[in-house]
Amino acid sequence: MNKVFIFFLFFLCPFFFYPKNSFGKSYQKSEHCKIIDRITYKYLKEYILPQGLDCICKGGSMMGDIQAVALGFVSYKALNVDEARKLYVNIIEEYLHRVNCNEEVRPYLHNYPFTINNLEFNIEFDESNGRMKSDGHVAYVSFIASRNLIFYSSYDYKTHKFQDLHQESYEEALKIVKKGFSPQN
């Protein structure tokens, strides 16, 4: 047999076929990550998919405890600021409710109750061809915790830049959604 093949078979193959981290130890997901994953996957299945949203990224900060959860969504709806606000606030509030009501995860939360400051959620609004919404509709919604603001942006294909449509604190948006009116009415 070829010496290179024997070397590959006995020395390199184990590195490709066994889940190990960079220190050669098998990777095992921590208990708090398993719990938050169960909560998140149930939330995605029961709440996000029926809203017509797809989850396109998932992550967070969970070394030692659960400091932050990050989720990115895409929607193919054309929404104005009022409609995007209602959608964004509702998905945030539903996730916070599910996390804060779950007693199993509570000891692992960096802070209880979990708040908007522990979440990094964004929604991108795309056309069916994958291009971001333009023509005055909201193309992107995100919360910037360091500024305590939700940004609603459109996308300008001429300049290839986002244009701010509106910004407000999460507290303002929550108040508007709970009252069921728009300040622009």
The reply to whether 6 falls in a domain is no
- List Cβ neighbours of 86 (8 Å cut-off, separation of 6 or more): 177
The reply to whether 20 falls in a domain is no
Overall number of domains in the chain: 1
Q: Which range of residues forms the domain containing residue 108?
A: 31-179
In angstroms, the CA 62 to CA 11 distance is: 33
The reply to whether 151 falls in a domain is yes
SS3 call for 48: helix
The more confidently predicted of residues 92 and 28 is 92
The reply to whether 17 falls in a domain is no
The reply to whether 104 falls in a domain is yes
The reply to whether 25 falls in a domain is no
Tens of pLDDT, residue by residue over 110-162, are 999 999 999 999 999 998 888 887 778 999 999 999 899 999 999 998 999 99
The reply to whether 16 falls in a domain is no
The reply to whether 21 falls in a domain is no
In angstroms, the CA 44 to CA 36 distance is: 12
In angstroms, the CA 135 to CA 178 distance is: 28
Specify the pTM: 0.82
Tens of pLDDT, residue by residue over 3-35, are 443 344 344 444 444 444 555 555 678 999 999
